[in-house]
Chain A
Amino acid sequence: MSPRPRALAAAVALVASVPALAGRPAKSVMVILDEKTERVPNGRQAFKHPAPDQLTQALMAALMADGWSLVLPPPDAPKNDRRAARELAKKAGAAVVITGRVRLCEHPPQPKDDPVIFPLTGVVELVAASTADGVVRAAADLEQSLSLSDQPRGENSYAGKAGLLVERIKAALWPELSAGLAAHLAAR
């Protein structure tokens, strides 16, 4: 191969190595949320344990229903680091990264003699950004709770009530998130 075609081939390989130029699917997204649940058994002590990624699952289901293809992060993906998450998603070929922090809190039942009341509160913050240029398309922060009056009987566990709370959080987040994702698609 003469020098000129070789240089040309190298240039083509360089271009192909850049996902943004090589045609990264516009509707591909990676979701990396840091979800934890804090338990407050008596108000004086708190135990924090990882939550089962319920909001992550709920958002991924909604994104798939909206026609997005999901790029799963590796198990050791950096959580709670938006900028590192953008780089990871970019390298993995996702056009958008959704990253954020979810903190649920399990409270002692009030009144204490009611065995089926499981009070829960939650705080969420997240952003959705295009991985190619880093432009933030949506940002949300909210607090949600299950008050004593709106706890359906039958879900007699904190885990069951957490599912209900997460659905509410997702419903509250979705309008802004979907509008931001639409803006991402329109900008391409």
Chain B
Amino acid sequence: MTPRPALHLLLGLLLAAPLAARAAPPVKTVAVVVDETVGTQAPPGSAPEAPEPSDEVATLLTRALMAAGWTVILPPPCPPIVRAPDARDLGRLANAAYVVFGRVRFSKHQLATFGGLNDDPTSFPATGVFELTVVSTADGVVLGASTGKLNVATPGAKGSDGLSRTNVSHDRTIHDIVHRFRKDELLTPVLEALEGHAPAASAQGGSR
């Protein structure tokens, strides 16, 4: 073989390798794209602060999926995903077989405007809402969707429900809501949708 064809072959292999890898994402790969913000409820008469980004729910999902044997992909930057076709496109771009996308909005409440806690200077209430959707990249099918409220079990009730442990800071309250109080509601629908679909995908050829 002359040097020139050998060089061409090498270049071809180098250029083709990423494309070949992109063509067939492993079955248990998932991109997690959750648009999360934490806002602060402004006291009466003051201007509201701009919400700041957060990744509490994305981290919860990432850890749980990794523990369940999934490869989680951090996809490239993209506009907020609000539709399944957009999620499918992102899944292809990120080389992920599935995409979990959604929205989480938390709000830190000022004590003076949160009923029942006005007299407790050590309470830091926070509430939120979430919506999560699971999409298959191969066909764009929505495999599962869930929505709900994010709060402690019984706001204002100290003691048995563990709320007193959350009365440390707003960030701790949000952390505890995501990782303790509402963990199952956030995780179960996503894991069930993915695990319910991945075995069927495996049986159809090992990769999608």
* Residues of chain A at the chain B interface (Cβ within 8 Å): 8, 11-12, 14-15, 20-21, 38, 40, 42-44, 46, 80-84, 86-87, 100-101, 103, 105, 107, 121, 123, 125-127, 129, 133-136, 139-141, 143, 145
Contacts and interface: CB of A to CB of B under 8 A. Distances in A.
A44 B112 contact: yes
Contact of A121 (B55, B78, B169): B169
Given A38-B169, A136-B66, A139-B66, A84 B77 contact: yes
B172 interface: yes
Given A80-B52, A83-B74, A134 B94 contact: yes
A33 to B, nearest CB: 12
A8 B8 CA distance: 8
Interface of B: 7-8, 11, 14-15, 18, 31, 33, 52-56, 58-60, 62-63, 66, 71-78, 94-95, 110-112, 120-123, 168-172, 174-176, 179
Q: Chain A interface mostly helix, strand, loop or mixed?
A: mixed
Contacts of B78: 83
A83 B55 contact: no
Given A139-B59, A143-B172, A8 B72 contact: no
Contacts of A100: 55
Nearest to B169: A105
Contacts of B179: 141
B171 A123 contact: yes
B123 to A, nearest CB: 8
Nearest to A125: B59
Nearest to B78: A83
A103 B171 contact: yes
A141 B112 contact: no
A101 B57 CA distance: 13
Contact of A107 (B72, B73, B168): B168
Contacts of A14: 15
A11 B10 CA distance: 11
Given A42-B121, A103-B171, A135 B11 contact: no
Contacts of A133: 73, 95
